[in-house]
Amino acid sequence: MTVRPDLHETNYVFLGWYSHNENDIISVVLPESDNDEVRTTFQLLSQNLGIIDRPSKKIYEYLALFASDFKEREKLSYLASSESKSDFG
């Protein structure tokens, strides 16, 4: 296991629970590029989705893409928008 200063020990637990190693290579289509891009699990979770740290608006945008419930998708899209700024204090 590689120890990185930007990855707290409890986040390794999350990666283990998620059944992936931080160095697993995955291919994803990122909305901003519309192309398949190769990332490690760590890169996807920390740099693209932002779930290793405090969630960014980007995580809500990505989650909205996969939400099957209309109301859930609507709420996630709202949280990803600039209108939700006051909700984040």
pLDDT at 4 over 60: no
Cα–Cα distance measured from residue 42 to residue 50, given in angstroms and rounded to the nearest whole number = 10
Q: Residues 16-31: pLDDT tens digits?
A: 666 667 788 888 877 7
- Region 45-55: mean pLDDT is 65
Residue linked to tokens 């995955």:
26
pLDDT at 1 over 80: no
Domain locations along the chain: 7-53, 56-89
Cα–Cα distance measured from residue 85 to residue 89, given in angstroms and rounded to the nearest whole number = 7
Q: Which residues lie below 8 Å from residue 60, measured CB to CB, with a gap of 6+?
A: 76, 77, 79, 80
